[in-house]
Amino acid sequence: MAMMLDQGQWQHVDGGVTAARGFRAAGIHCGIKADRKDLALIVSDTLASAAGMFTTNLVKAAPVVLSQERIQSGAAQAIVVNSGNANACTGAQGWADAQEMAALTAQALGVAEEFVLVASTGVIGVPLSMPALRAGIPRLPEALSRDGAAAAEAILTTDAFPKTSAVRFRLDGTTVTIGGMAKGAGMIHPNMATTLAFLTTDAALPAPLLRRALRQAVDRSFNAISVDGDTSTNDTVFLLANGQAGGAPMVEEDDALARFTEALTVVTTDLARMVVRDGEGATKLITVMVRGAQTPADARRVMSAVMTSPLVKTALYGGEPNWGRILAAAGRAGAALVPERVEIWIAGVPVVRGGQGLPGALPRAAEAMAQAEYELLLDLRLGSGEATGWTCDLNESYVKINAGYMT
């Protein structure tokens, strides 16, 4: 049982974004979409420490800009999210609409408006349906519960399934929970953010330490995935910590922060892998591992080049062990590389040694590639730099989905 866990251990639990003490959530249909849930709310019973990360795309949606400003205070109590409309590239009206979403939520909950964060996802360049939101937001408080399933459903766009995760562990004698939910299937290539993800914990952390933990967890999870190489205008991740578990707040010198960050990374990695598994049209979840690079930065460059290459990704879909595409992608990554040293494994089968193909390896690799999940491993044999990321295959279904997204 969770209460018997030793220090540093963690256990998956149900509940997602509401698994931690003092958090409730709601998800309803308000009319932005024709017939699916499209409005979500996450609320802490008390004011919480808050941290966030956002898209690095220079084209930013109005809710991103608004939430970037508000989260500087390091405190928040509620997050309101709509799906079906990104409220991006909507000018002054979009900015006013994002502010009104926050104001309506604050009024409905009876909390200060500056402690309400906003996120949106969906079609770019289309004004929000404010009549739908004006009617829907006041209904959210009565729908709040300790079951986060409806909220996880309400943030979806082209997703095939909701994405949730939560872990519970002991931290300096206190039982702590971290939970979260995410959405995303296309326009996935996070860079200092994610698609949309919302994380909660009942641990006690001041905002500066919360920001540090979030940065580290995101770097090892959401910033190591790619579906199509596109970074959204709306990418946002929030983390709220309300301290409801009890116990003393963490301090910078305490190793509890490292243990907390490790558990947080478990949750963010769960969610990140689900996003890739649900990539638009995807049939494979591929772990890309690079080792033996001169530096960790070089390892990440090679990892990114391989997992974003359309030629590699189409070969993954076809079950074709075309290692030449993998080596070529690594060679253009901008990292130190000596072709004659490179070794490559596909789905556990060695296919390249010393930069050349191994005789008889391709049929065995092709057979192994029939699995729904497997690894691509590159060893550059130049140093100790390592990186791990996740990608998916690319096929005609992705093209069909995105060729008719608005119509």
Q: Please identify every residue annotated as catalytic.
A: 194
What are residue 123's DSSP bridge partners? Answer: 85
Residue 25: closest CA among 114, 109, 115: 109
CA dist list (Å): 220 to 13, 104, 303: 22, 36, 13
Q: How far apart are CA 19 and CA 40, in angstroms?
A: 16
- Beta strand residue intervals within 216-264, DSSP E: 225-226, 236-241
**406: CB partners within 8 A, 6+ apart:** 123
Assign 81 to helix, strand or coil.
strand
Nearest one of 84, 86, 107, 110 to 98, comparing CA atoms: 86
Question: Strand, coil or helix: what is 120?
Answer: strand
CA distances from 7 to 11, 243, 260, 310 (A): 12, 18, 11, 44
Per-position DSSP letters for 16-29, written without gaps between them? GGG-STTEEEEEE-
DSSP string, 153-195: HHT-SS-SS-EEEEEEEEETTEEEEEEEEEE-SSS---SSS-S
Cα–Cα distance list, 131 to 36, 135, 137, 204 (Å): 17, 6, 10, 38
In this structure, the dihedral spanned by the alpha carbons of residues 390, 393, 399 and 404, taken in order and rounded to 10 degrees, is -50
Q: What are 162's strand-pairing partners? A: none
Residues making up the chain, counted from first to last? 407
CA distance 145 to 129: 26
Count how many Cα atoms sit within 13 Å of the Cα of residue 219 in the half-sphere of its side chain.
12
User: Is-contact 242 176, C-beta < 8 A?
Assistant: no
Let me know: does 66 contact 95? Beta carbons within 8 Å.
yes
